[in-house]
Amino acid sequence: MPFEPVFQISPKTATSLMRIEAAKQSLQYLPITPNVLTRLRETARLSSTHYSTSIEGNQLTQHEVSSVIQHKGHFAGREREEKEVLGYYVALEHVEQLAASAVPLSTTHIQTLHALVMAEGRKKAKPTPYRDGQNVIRDTRSRAIVYMPPEAKDVPALMDALVRWLATAQAASLPCPIRAGIAHYQFATIHPYYDGNGRTARLLSTLILHLGGYDLKGLYSLEEYYARNLGAYYQALTVGPSHNYYEGRANADISHWIEYFCNGMAESFDNVRRNAEHEASTGARDHSSQLRNLDPRQRKALQLFIGTSLITSAHIETLFGISQRAARNILTAWVESGFLIVSDPARKTRKYALSPSFAPLLQ
């Protein structure tokens, strides 16, 4: 069953896309030090975790979420909520690792994201099989049926069709924000699991944005945009003449959802640009020319040297989600290029330091 999204790019969507591009370009040249970048990135992760889980009813405040993730606090009677935020945070880290490794998206990646969402903070989890029965979404108060997803027997084929479409020339010809919005909508429409669909849909769209070069240094949180007005979020997702997937939802026009999604991206990117401009104006040293000479993985690796002077291949494995051999190959290439120097040459415990010529980037 092929997947062919139906939509048009409205004038408002086109405006949002231009705002996204303007913010993306301006951020590339702002003088933000790795110390500031790391702090802003962590703030965005915590915000994404808080808002995405709050959409699903989690009552932990942003401060409490931060305490749980940093293992600085435990809230009696809130164990389920604590496990939810830990799961989302780990899954968000996995998104960044997948994006850094630039792997082609697969259904296994999506199933693994869902597994991590539901894994209560464990760092590894086996891909989750799709649901084996029907699930019906009901209004929490009236209990009326809000949406009836496709039958379980159709879910694998629908998910395969979505992933195949994302790899087509047609999808590649679309702006990345639109691809990400379509994937979010279609995943939520298929509703392949009994629980965790919303969180996984939001992570999937983030992964597609990161893979497409719209990671914005990991500084934005689309989840906050959704959470500020949940009614608008659910209304934008609810399209078609019927609550039944087979009676119109499958081929519905999703132009309004695309408009909503891109507007949210534009707002989030504008917020990042403003925050970054503020940080840059507070006296941060301008290392933009040096940073532009580094490749994306090197720029990301700089954060490893905040708080420590030496790293190992294990740090690189974890940061990018790659094998030990691949990590060692990267480190060897970085030593040859002058980015790193070998501090401890012992084969099993080899340690690397930042080259003196790049050390000022951490100031």
What's the pLDDT at 132?
96
Reported pTM: 0.80
- How many Cβ atoms are within 10 Å of 76's Cβ, its own excluded? 5
Secondary structure (DSSP) of 135-166? --EE-TTT--EEEB---GGGHHHHHHHHHHHH
Residue 97 near residue 321 (C-beta atoms within 8 A): yes
In tens, the pLDDT along 30-67 reads 666 666 677 777 888 888 999 899 988 888 888 888 88
Residue 266 near residue 171 (C-beta atoms within 8 A): no
Report the distance separating Cα 119 and Cα 113, nearest Å. 10
Question: Which residues, in sequence order, are bridge partners of residue 6?
Answer: 253
Share of the chain above pLDDT 90, in %: 41
- Tell me how far the alpha carbon of residue 108 is from its chain's centroid: 16
Task: Give the domain 288-362 fold.
Answer: Arc Repressor Mutant, subunit A (1.10.10)
Residue 34 near residue 300 (C-beta atoms within 8 A): no
In tens, the pLDDT along 5-15 reads 999 999 999 99
In tens, the pLDDT along 101-140 reads 888 999 999 999 999 999 988 888 999 999 999 988 887 7
Report the distance separating Cα 245 and Cα 52, nearest Å. 25
Going by the DSSP 8-state scheme, the letter that residue 249 receives in this structure is G
Please list, in sequence order, all residues whose beta carbon lies within 8 angstroms of the beta carbon of residue 111, skipping any fewer than 6 positions away: 127, 128, 129, 130
Nearest to 132 by CA among 155, 161, 158: 155
Beta strands 137-138 and 340-344, pairing class? unpaired
Residue type, 274: R
Residue 263 near residue 210 (C-beta atoms within 8 A): no
User: Domain spans of the chain?
Assistant: 11-279, 288-362
Instruction: Using alpha carbons, list the distances in angstroms from residue 325 to 164, 198, 273, 321.
Output: 30, 36, 37, 12
- Tell me how far the alpha carbon of residue 160 is from its chain's centroid: 21
SS3 85: helix
CA-CA-CA-CA torsion sign (123, 127, 131, 137): positive
Report the distance separating Cα 208 and Cα 176, nearest Å. 8
Kindly state the helix (H) or strand (E) to which residue 342 belongs, with its residue range.
strand 340-344
Angle at 308 between CA 305 and CA 313, to 5 degrees: 70
Report the distance separating Cα 316 and Cα 198, nearest Å. 31
Please list, in sequence order, all residues whose beta carbon lies within 8 angstroms of the beta carbon of residue 143, skipping any fewer than 6 positions away: none
Nearest to 344 by CA among 317, 310, 316, 301: 310
Q: How many CA atoms lie within 13 A of 99 on its CB side?
A: 24
Report the distance separating Cα 353 and Cα 362, nearest Å. 13
Beta strands 340-344 and 351-354, pairing class? antiparallel
Average pLDDT of the chain to the nearest whole number? 87
Tell me the average pLDDT across 153-179: 96
Which homologous superfamily does the CATH classification assign to the domain defined by 11-279? Fido-like domain (1.10.3290.10)
In tens, the pLDDT along 171-188 reads 999 999 999 999 999 999
Report the distance separating Cα 162 and Cα 229, nearest Å. 28
In tens, the pLDDT along 263-311 reads 999 999 998 888 777 776 665 555 555 665 677 778 778 878 876 788 8
